[in-house]
Structure 1
Amino acid sequence: MIAEGNLVDTIGDGMPPEHRRKGVSTVAGNAGNQAVAYLGPGKVTVETIDYPELVLKDGPGVHPANVGRKCDHGVILKVVSTNICGSDQHMVRGRTTAPSGLVLGHEITGEVVEAGRDVEYIKVGDLCSVPFNIACGRCRMCKEGHTGVCLNVNPERPGSAYGYVDMGGWVGGQAEYVMVPYADWNLLRFPDKDQAMEKILDLTMLSDIFPTGYHGAVTAGVTTGSTVYVAGAGPVGLAAAYSSLLLGAAVVVVGDMVAERLEQARSFGCETVDLTEQGTLPERLEQILGEPEVDAAIDAVGFEARGHGANAAEAPATVLNSVMEVTRAAGRLGIPGLYVTGDPGAVDDAAKMGSLSIRIGLGWAKSHTFTTGQCPVMRYHRRLMGAILADRAHIADAVNATVIPLSEAPRGYAEFDSGVARKYVLDPHGLVAAR
């Protein structure tokens, strides 16, 4: 546990003179800013970028219409923890159109070290979770609770996120410091800083994978007594499986091709199916449940799906088609797995544009309900925070949270890509390790 008082007290007094003004911690800051950048397929590095300001400047991936966008409604955060996500891994594998030099990271927890002129309620010293969705709080979508498709933060399309391709160019948070716009709306402040630091490995999951997994379960209709199939035992799949149990599911079956990940799913009470082994998915489910279908299914794999079997090749529609096959009539499918509109490494020209051979006729015949898209984190994160702080949810254990320094991010990406059953948490200032 760190010493009592503001986390900013541990940084030092190296703030540039231009940051020493009203609404700025006088002991926080740094002339530089170490950050994780994507250089090309399979390549990430830790490099020094500019200390953030309350303006979106030109840079890799920044939409021209966003260049120079003033953010007096924003704050600068000292990043306490920031996680490597499977969505980041898609970019690092070269499976998106992400530009070289893009600073990565959309799972951010941090302390406010500077507050903009128009920030009213968030204060310097507050420790906060940052939803990965960037949302203005003013548009129709935000007012209706659809913060994953905010209309005002990305000139190219609805929806935005930090450090992600085609999301407007907002600088990622796998860094020492990051700027967060619309702070009063976006930030979830933890009520007690010392308590939060005691549970920081759980709370760091509130920025994305815990709400995303929970959203997958909720939109799949998981409730008391449900039988659930979760495709994929990566961190989001594990979060979806854990969330399903939290919601009262009777049996949760997780399918994957990596033995270590399946073992992690079993560690908190799931049944598992090794998809490299013989037998169809309905047959395997019948062995476990006594019937070949489930009440609810969750696709936590996305567009890099592979066919079933020991030597299966990539087949991007496999999971969507298999979950339709095993979900009962009138059942629901939650699809938190990522699907993209541009995949240069896809298996065919159609898939390169996000067009997949989905058996929509099967889904129509069974009256299935599908829910796709970014999780609207704000819909869930406050309640999930309450569950964590009340010691009712232990998501860090479920996803095997593993802390490493920011400097070791390239190793974390490489190991995550190999299929290890870990959720890597980057610790830019050593505050998590010192908790």
Structure 2
Amino acid sequence: MAGNRAVVYNKPGSVEIRDTDFPDLILRDGPGVNPLNVGRKCEHGVILKVVTTNICGSDQHMVRGRTTAPSGLILGHEITGEVIEVGRDVEFIQKGDLVSVPFNIACGRCRNCKERHTNVCLNVNPDRPGSAYGYVDMGGWVGGQSEYVMVPYADFQLLKFPDKAQAMEKILDLTMLSDIFPTGYHGAVSAGVRPGSTVYVAGAGPVGLAAAHSAQLLGAAVVIVGDLNAERLAQAKSFGCETVNLREHANLAEQIEQILGTPEVDCAIDCVGFEAHGHGKAHGEAPATVLNSIMEVTRAGGSLGIPGLYVTGDPGAVDEDSKIGTLKIRFGLGWAKSHTFVTGQTPVMKYHRDLMMSILSGRAQIAKAVNATKISLEEAPNAYQEFDRGVSRKFVIDPHGLVK
């Protein structure tokens, strides 16, 4: 049987490439695997030869040591691949299919899955609803920043591309369907973006850029992106967004007023999450900053989409409350303004087929928006370091050299 290589979390600030076991259709014991999941048979699953797998900001939280992720965890939840083996119970997915894998692992059988809440499947994580590949406290499903990976519940979860040759021509766009594009789009939909909306996007990392592009696809009149990183703001400006440099201009409302003539927007999207920093030159970490600022600048009756990650365990937090996910949020302000908040993992399957069609038709240009940058598996450790320094790129790992 062939071997396998993967990107493995070693210790805070360090990932490395290791030889690992070739996957089979069973969840075996290993770093981060929930004991109740060990030995779980997956004849409903497939083995994929990974074509592309992306580095995500959520991975970076773990690599920085800001979660309880164990050493040895194989990373990666953004996976696109070719089916090379199918389980006994797989009926519709076939060998040779090129597929996108939603980062949420979902059984398709539980109440939540049947109600399209695949982000909180009840059957895949013994600890709590919801799961993902290669992620802390998500059941222990092995990550896909590797040469090969096992994917359970294949018939239900996998999005098959209709034409393999066409898909490979657009693979740097289609690889974003596993997470980043649906996540940004979900943020925009949750915030109520519609034709003519004015939108504020907090954060110009890859998810923020995806949310901004999604808002444009939904017909927003003006999309304003705020960040502390000038390079990332330049990337947002490159596809038509207005920008606010919050390192140079601490007062967000004033900057929005200079752009729109009013200090408020119709809706806002938090694409930063729990490692948020305050505004201004002397900023420090302040995990509730983004949530409080988007409440301030969103009009009464507006909605807030919150795809940014918030956790219940952060050993590197700035205070004891934040270490357990308790933040000093101005909830009274949101209540007074009758805001709607939408949080949690994105239910990828709710959006990925429509977004695939927008890519294949040429309508969506997500790879360009997020500055997709292809790298080899061996280059992944250096890419993690570059990403941590704030480079404005979405790194796409090509473990077999299949991408033109």
Bigger-Rg structure (1/2)? 1
Is 1:425–2:401 an aligned residue pair?
A: no
1:310 maps to which of 281, 295, 312: 281
1:112 equivalent in structure 2:
83
1:343 equivalent in structure 2:
314
Is 1:287–2:258 an aligned residue pair?
A: yes
Residue correspondence of structure 1 range 56-75 to structure 2 within 5 A: 56-75=27-46
Distance 1:37 1:134 in 2: 20
Residue correspondence of structure 1 range 28-427 to structure 2 within 5 A: 30=2, 32-427=3-398
Give me the identity figure in percent: 77
Aligned CA-pair RMSD: 0.5
Whether the 8 Å CA contact 2:102–2:349 is kept in 1: the answer is: yes
* Structure 1 residue 310, shift from structure 2 partner: 1.1
SS of 1:311's equivalent in the other structure is coil
* Structure 1 residue 334, shift from structure 2 partner: 0.1
* Structure 1 residue 277, shift from structure 2 partner: 1.1
SS of 1:407's equivalent in the other structure is coil
Distance 2:248 2:385 in 1: 26
Distance 1:64 1:117 in 2: 25
* TM-score in terms of structure 2 length: 1.00
| Structure 2 unmatched runs, 5+ | none
Once the two structures are superposed, what CA deviation does each residue of 1:13-61 show, in whole Å capped at 9, x if it has no partner?
A: xxx2xxxxxxxxxxxxx2x101000011001000000000000000000
SS of 1:406's equivalent in the other structure is coil
1:4 equivalent in structure 2:
none
What amino acid does structure 2 have at the position aligned with 1:378?
M
Distance 2:377 2:204 in 1: 25
Once the two structures are superposed, what CA deviation does each residue of 1:88-115 show, in whole Å capped at 9, x if it has no partner?
A: 0000000000000000000000000000
Distance 1:402 1:264 in 2: 13
Distance 1:226 1:83 in 2: 31
SS of 2:362's equivalent in the other structure is coil
* Structure 1 residue 279, shift from structure 2 partner: 4.5
* Structure 1 residue 278, shift from structure 2 partner: 3.2
What amino acid does structure 2 have at the position aligned with 1:415?
E
SS of 1:159's equivalent in the other structure is coil
Distance 1:174 1:186 in 2: 19
Distance 2:341 2:170 in 1: 34
* TM-score in terms of structure 1 length: 0.93
Distance 2:248 2:165 in 1: 47
Distance 1:149 1:310 in 2: 39
Distance 2:398 2:73 in 1: 20
* Structure 1 residue 141, shift from structure 2 partner: 0.3
| Structure 1 unmatched runs, 5+ | 1-15, 17-29
Distance 2:6 2:148 in 1: 8
